[in-house]
Amino acid sequence: MDPYKHCPSSAHNTPFWTTNAGAPVWNNNSSMTVGQRGPILLEDYHMLEKLANFDRERIPERVVHARGMSAKGFFEVTHEISNLTCADFLRAPGVQTPVIVRFSTVIHERGSPETLRDPRGFATKFYTREGNFDIVGNNFPVFFIRDGIKFPDVIHAFKPNPKSHIQEYWRIFDFLSHHPESLSTFAWFFDDVGIPQDYRHMEGFGVHTFCFLNKAGKVTYVKFHWKPTCGVKCLTDDEAMKIGGANHSHATQDLYDSIAAGNYPEWILHIQTMDPADEDRFDFDPLDMTKIWPEDIFPLQPIGRLVLNRNIDNWFAENEMLAFNPAHVVPGIHYSNDKLFQLRTFAYSDTQRHRLGPNYMQLPVNAPKCPHHNNHYDGFMNFMHRDEEIDYFQSRYDPVRHAERYPIPNAIISGRREKCVIPKENNFKQPGERYRSWTPDRQERFLCRLVNALSDPRITHEIRGIWVSYWSQCDQSLGQKLASRLNVRPNI
């Protein structure tokens, strides 16, 4: 055995207890003391090592998506789309790619109940032959804000009050009263889908607009949609309270038990596509992630299926240390100019370097499963075995070369440096259309949740009036009902 290439593994357990260095421990139950009743000795290295490791067992939890569960499986292409993208893992029907998926809540802490009204994360890592591709999405197709510079603020508003550590609606509605773009997401948040029954009966969305590129370099805008084959199911508020009171890990347990029993959850991956030449034809900005693409104009096209058929082996190694990054794309897929997408390509890798260290991509769950080579050396917890003498590029002593060129968007970009709002905000049309698409009983449930949230005693009359005005512009009857129940007049 080459000692420099051996990595510790539970597969190499000895039949007796050892220190981290491998030395045998003859008594793991008693500290070393001076006599039977005397003080503990500092020379009991095993005791100190055991406690020191225990003291450091917890790593910083994620700022968002702290509460979650992962599972493994495969993605299989079912439809021919090589005319749209040269991505290798999408090259032909029948091609399978290993994946790991993490489901999560967004706002609350690692030990919080999975029944709270909150968006859910739906993040998928594809281990392709050309590197990892991550779709880091949610169970809503839209988000509260459209510009990444406001992301810390919207998360702070949803997080607990820094003084009391209590989540309070007055903070949420105060902040977002300045941002009517949030109406689209509130139309999902306070809807029935705001509390999924579990992770298996939940939709997923890539949310952002991505770019597909084919071999000729032609760009197509694309959105991703995961549709569960077992259907979408949600919990009422009363059901959520009952289930959450009995088991705060009900969704995690449901996912784990279902896979263990051979009842493998499955989703169909659909795409919507748009020609970038048509980008300005609509009354909304297609790259604005507070907007959906209407399915009657951009129909869903199935392209593959996702099957989760393996539970993770270790929750910490494959859930807590699992790290996603929207910047991880592969040849044939690229970013769009979505302003929040652009920010996330930096923010996610930056937070993983803070949580897990600069070499988080060496962890088995995050490392690509294809050959890879670069000169990212050293740093905390670097455990990659390297014996090269060349740690620079280029070198006449090292044959490594540039990869073959692949297409990326090449549109000519020009404009003045400025900070501005996108021209087509159109904040009220889509949430109004969504509300009107519901049955009367579903509309009533949405209205009741909205009234309850806006009844927070610290929400001022002014802020209530602003929200009544916003919803009146979405749908006049909704605004009237909301004004009546809150006893306020629209503040238009």
Percent pLDDT > 90 in the chain is 75
Whether residue 489 is predicted with pLDDT greater than 70 in this model: the reply is yes
Average pLDDT, integer, range 268-294: 97
Q: Which of 65, 108, 250, 328 is catalytic?
A: 65
Cβ-in-10-Å burial (0-12, 13-18, 19+) of 389 comes to exposed
376 is catalytic: no
Q: How many whole angstroms from its chain centre is CA 220?
A: 24
Record: fold of 68-362: Catalase HpII,  Chain A, domain 1 (2.40.180)
Closest by CA to 343, choosing from 289, 399, 405, is 289
Can you give the pLDDT at residue 8? 58
Whether residue 13 is predicted with pLDDT greater than 80 in this model: the reply is no
User: Per-residue pLDDT tens for 49-92?
Assistant: 888 888 888 899 999 999 999 999 999 999 999 999 999 999 99
Can you give the pLDDT at residue 7? 58
Can you give the pLDDT at residue 399? 84
User: Per-residue pLDDT tens for 111-170?
Assistant: 999 999 999 999 999 999 999 999 999 999 999 999 999 999 999 999 999 999 999 999
User: Per-residue pLDDT tens for 174-183?
Assistant: 999 999 999 9
Q: How far apart are CA 480 and CA 478, in angstroms?
A: 5
Q: How far apart are CA 486 and CA 480, in angstroms?
A: 10
Whether residue 282 is predicted with pLDDT greater than 60 in this model: the reply is yes
Task: Tell me how crowded residue 152 is: count the other CB atoms within 10 A of its CB.
Answer: 11
> What's the Rg (C-alpha) of the chain?
26
Average pLDDT, integer, range 89-99: 98
> Helix %, strand %, coil % for the chain, to 5?
30, 15, 55
Can you give the pLDDT at residue 70? 98
Can you give the pLDDT at residue 356? 93
For residue 5, name the pLDDT band (cuts at 50, 70, 90).
low
6 is catalytic: no
What pTM was computed for the model?
0.93
For residue 10, name the pLDDT band (cuts at 50, 70, 90).
low
Residue 348 marked ligand-binding: yes
CA atoms within 13 A of residue 357's CA, in its CB half-sphere: 14
Can you give the pLDDT at residue 184? 98
Q: How far apart are CA 203 and CA 365, in angstroms?
A: 24
Can you give the pLDDT at residue 26? 87
For the chain, what are the domain ranges? 1-57, 68-362, 438-486
Q: Which residue has the higher pLDDT, 30 or 4?
A: 30
Cβ-in-10-Å burial (0-12, 13-18, 19+) of 107 comes to buried
Q: Which of 138, 319, 366, 427 is catalytic?
A: 138
Whether residue 492 is predicted with pLDDT greater than 60 in this model: the reply is no
Average pLDDT, integer, range 215-235: 97
Can you give the pLDDT at residue 1? 47
For residue 435, name the pLDDT band (cuts at 50, 70, 90).
very high
Residue range 1-57 in CATH 3.90.580.10: no
Whether residue 280 is predicted with pLDDT greater than 80 in this model: the reply is yes
Residue 309 near residue 259 (C-beta atoms within 8 A)? yes
Tokens of 311: 């539970």
Can you give the pLDDT at residue 268? 98
User: Per-residue pLDDT tens for 359-380?
Assistant: 999 999 999 998 888 878 888 8
